[in-house]
Structure 1
Amino acid sequence: MEMGKENESLDDDGRVKRTGTLMTASVHIITAVIGSGVLSLAWVMAQLGWVAGPVSLVAFSVITWFTSILLADCYRSDDPVPGKRNYTYVDAVRTNLGGYKVRICGLAQIGNLIGATIGYTITAGISMAAVIRSNCFHKNGHHAKCQASNYPFIIIFGGIQIVLSQIPNFHKLSWLSMIAAVMSFSYTLIGIGLSIAQVAGGNNGARTGLTGVVVGLDVTVSEKVWKTFQAIGNVAFAYTFSPILIEIQDTLKSSPPENKVMKKATSIGVSTIAFLYIVCGGVGYAAFGNDAPGNFLTGFGFYEPFWLIDFANLCIAVHLVGAYQVFAQPLFRIVENWCITHWPENGFITPEHAVKIPLYGKYHINFFQVVWRTVYVVSTTVIAMIFPFFNDILGLVGAISYWPLTVYLPIEMYIVRSRIPRFSFTWTWLKVLSFTCLLVAVVAAVGSVQGLAAGVKTYKLFKT
């Protein structure tokens, strides 16, 4: 009887039965994708205008949805129902493609996950410092020199992450993702509401146009080109969650089939995000026109009501607390599985120790996990404090990892799994799609390099 009960608590691979559902997968996607970058879409619209802006937002949402659908079928090998599970993106690539493409996937995924956690640490610090500045502007006037250091808030954020990083795995993360998703909706809707109010109030003569910022009036020719490159890159990366898609899918119950549930979750997540992006970018551009700031909450496109701005920035910080874990947990798993595989008998890495916690009961602690995860969070916190312009580096990391993770590898695995003949119609248009997205990634990388160079130059001038 006990053996029967034990088997009922395990999945077909012998691991603890997964409990994820359509709702939890959708929430993970929304938490991962909607970041404070949604508030920069007004700036993106200002660079691209009323035609290219909405078209690019729709086009890249469709591309992300399509390639994510292809990737969802790669969770199990051979057959989407009884087939062998691939627990990570790298496992899926190793099973379906193998060779050097496994290394490409591993490097791109790890770089993306590390970059995201550092970027979130910086952004959370900026958002929390913006609360101090908002209160200062309210008290002393909008033209006052209100400064607040990000460092104390980055340290606070890091301290919170040290605690949350002890959550055992992705499967135990649903409650945090739920809170983060609510926060993301909150500050997005606040931004939309404030923008609508500004438009209704006359928006102070903000200029908009079909092609965005005007050469000779708003920008030079070279600035127009660089900012267009950056804006296209921002839109392409705005929907990306491929680096953690397989990891999210691995939290789902086995019935109904994981690939079907993941496809529905992808459709729900991407369509919801696309709607919010288009609305937020559109009303933000209408409110600020070609002078739209990079982020109209932390960049103070709005000053009043100050308490609402404060609340929105706090929502951003809380959302990023959850988003950090959504990207950190897959990285923790990659490193810990690698170490266990290479040193299975190590007394520090492998064993778990039961510790009694008041009001909770037994909690199993792995000393290696505690130490390694703490060291990782401390490292990302320190990097965030040393490199305040790391978000520009993150743009470059995103540009480099976007094409292989979001487009190239899902398409290549689909071609192999479906045995699509070379030079057939389907093979040809999939290759064309992949090549087109490669060009977008290259353009975005060039724009990111230029933005990084400008950011470093501005930072040096500020320091002197």
Structure 2
Amino acid sequence: MAGEDFEDEEQKTSLLNNSPHELTGTVWTALAHIITAVIGSGVLSLAWSVAQLGWIAGPLSLFLFAFFTLVSASFICDVHLYTNPSNGTTTTNYSYLQAVNTVLGYKNGLACGCLVYFSIFKTGVVYTITSSISIRAIRQSNCYHEEGHDAACEFENIYYMLLFGLVQIVASQIPNIFHTKWLSIIAAIMSFTYSFIGMGLGLVQVIGQGEIKGSINGISTTDPTQKVWLVAQAIGDIAFAFNFSLILLEIQSSLKSPPSQKVTMKKASTIAIATTTIFYFFCGASGYAAFGDSTPGNLLTGFGFYEPYWLVDFGNACIVLHLVGGYQIYSQTLFAIVERWYAEKYPESGFSKDIQSFKVSFFPEFRLNPLRLCFRTAYVILTMAVAMLFPYFNEVLAFAGSIIFWPLTIYFPVEMYFVQKKVVRWSRMWILLRMYTIFCLLVTIFTLAGSIEGLIAKRFG
């Protein structure tokens, strides 16, 4: 009976969500949000990652990081509702940062805030780089088709970054994550589409050449030190591909009850992680099997595939459409944090209030908000500027994955679990999770060192 009372109370609390928006989310909308966030630019580097690690360590690393992500998602779902043991009050945490503040206190919240802001920002940078590469690849694909595979079809990324940035400036005026359901659904469909295209092209090439390339040890090199750095970068790329912890509580807060938001979110997370892991495995394995030591860093833009050029073009177009949505799903979290802070700090300011409405054709009504317009535009411009400074796909992915993997996916969720479940120090569960945390920390340090070496070599080498 106690368990039933808790679920009823959770449902009641979730219905009293102080958001002005009606809670209409289901397991399917949550699934769309998660897949939009998880299957991003990281999937394009997985064939290269498997190629660095080989046929045993590559797939094993994929499944290991899927396990880490599933454990993290379960821990985070549990703290959506947190009851303070000292006074018995129950708090609904609408964001990852709020949860850390509530459960672990101000100091941990401050450290987490810096990492959260950095993580969201670096995702915007990575998506800008990836989208520009995909747009450029469409132009290159047409050029190779018309002029031959040996033609000098090289184009600058900067113009395509500007184009993607202009689209994001407009899209960023979407008020909040409650208004991005349609964008997530489109983006999720696009992610499945280009994953299928990359996987299909790899399988066709394997069948056509009549052999499976690759080896247990991965890509061979005469420099053992360089091999170590490449392995570290590959693991960092895999870590980036599975990262979605930051937006989980925002998604959970949009779900309707009954069933309870926690039950729905755990179900959606499990389905999403299982689905994406299967896609990741087949995308990584088919790419490595097709190209072996020649596996490109980006499966659809590295031009291992030239024909059919229209299918390569379509796959890259799907990537761009997906990343337009993915950029917004992540960025809306940061936008909400900053705009909520401003509204609380300056409640009388008219800068954060809607001042005019516009209605254009069949599009939804658009409300002009000075704070939203200025801050979000500046944010998009800043992500573009950093992307232009470091336009290196695999190295940036590895750095982005390694710098925040341990603290946000491992450390804070485990610490919140200890507090939420009142885990006794030196108990079996406490020791097990401490060993788990230390192991993941060592992996993170290794991948971070490799990604920094790669960035320095690319930028200054």
TM > 0.5 fold call = yes
- From 3, 6, 16, give the equivalent of 1:12: 16
Counterpart of 2:131 in structure 1 is 124
Change (3 A) 1:219 1:191: farther
User: What CA deviation, in whole Å up to 9, does each residue of 1:150-195 have, x standing for no partner?
Assistant: 2222122111111111111001111001111111111111111111
Once the two structures are TM-superposed, the CA of residue 51 in structure 1 deviates from its matched residue by 0.9
SS in structure 2 at match of 1:399: helix
Residue identity opposite 2:189 in structure 1? V
Counterpart CA distance in 1 for 2:126 and 2:214 is 30
How far is 1:28 from its partner? 0.8
Match of residue 232 from structure 2: 229
- CA gap of 1:415–1:73, structure 2 versus 1, over 3 A, is same
Equivalent residue runs for 1:130-169 within 5 Å? 130-169=137-176
Amino acid aligned to 1:238: A
Give the structure 2 partner of residue 63 of structure 1.
68
CA distance in 1, matches of 2:282, 2:188: 18
Q: Deviations for 1:73-106, whole angstroms, at most 9, x for unmatched residues?
A: 1111129xx9421111111011111032111211
Which of 21, 24, 30 is residue 25 of structure 1 equivalent to?
30
Shift of 1:328: 0.7
Aligned-pair CA distance for 1:361: 7.5
CA RMSD of aligned residues (A): 2.0
Q: CA deviation at 1:226?
A: 0.8
Corresponding residue of 1:100: 107
Which ranges of structure 1 fall in alignment gaps of 5 or more residues?
Answer: 1-9, 459-464
Equivalents in 2 of 1:72, 1:48: separation in Å? 32
Cα pair 2:50 2:218 within 8 Å, conserved: yes
Residue equivalent to 1:6: none
Q: Secondary structure at the match of 1:58?
A: helix
Q: In 2, distance between residues paired with 1:198 and 1:393?
A: 29
User: What code does the residue aligned with 2:19 have?
Assistant: R
Deviates more, 1:181-190 or 1:356-365: 356-365
**How many Å separate the matches in 2 of 1:15 and 1:170?**
11
Show the counterpart of 1:314: 317
d(CA) in 2 for partners of 1:89, 1:14: 17
| 8 Å Cα contact 1:127-1:316 kept in structure 2 | yes
Q: What is the aligned partner in structure 1 of residue 8 from structure 2?
A: none
Other-structure match for 1:353 = 355
- Which residue of structure 1 lines up, in the alignment, with residue 219 of structure 2? 213
Match of 1:406 among 395, 406, 409: 409
Q: Percent identity?
A: 45
TM-aligned CA distance change 1:31 to 1:379, over 3 Å: same
Amino acid at match of 2:102: T
| Alpha-carbon distance in structure 1 between the residues aligned to 2:131 and 2:216 | 34
Q: Runs in 1 of length 4+ with deviation above 6 angstroms?
A: none
Please give the secondary structure, in 2, of the residue aligned with 1:77.
strand
Tell me the SS of whatever aligns to 2:80.
Answer: coil
1:89 alignment partner in structure 2: 96
Deviations 1:398-443 (A, max 9, x none): 3121111101111110111111110100000011111111111101
1:68 Cα shift? 0.8
Distance 1:391 1:59 in 2: 20
Q: TM-score, normalised on structure 1?
A: 0.91
Q: Shift of residue 119 of structure 1?
A: 1.3
Name the aligned partner's letter for residue 411 of structure 1: V
One-letter identity of the residue aligned with 1:44: S
Q: Which residue of 2 aligns with 1:73?
A: 78
CA contact (8 A) 2:297 2:394 kept: no
Deviation string, structure 1 residues 109-140 (Cα, Å, up to 9, x no partner)? 10000011011111111100111111111111
TM-score by length of 2: 0.92
Q: Assess, with a 3 A threshold, how the Cα gap between structure 1 residues 308 and 435 changes in structure 2: closer, same or farther.
A: same
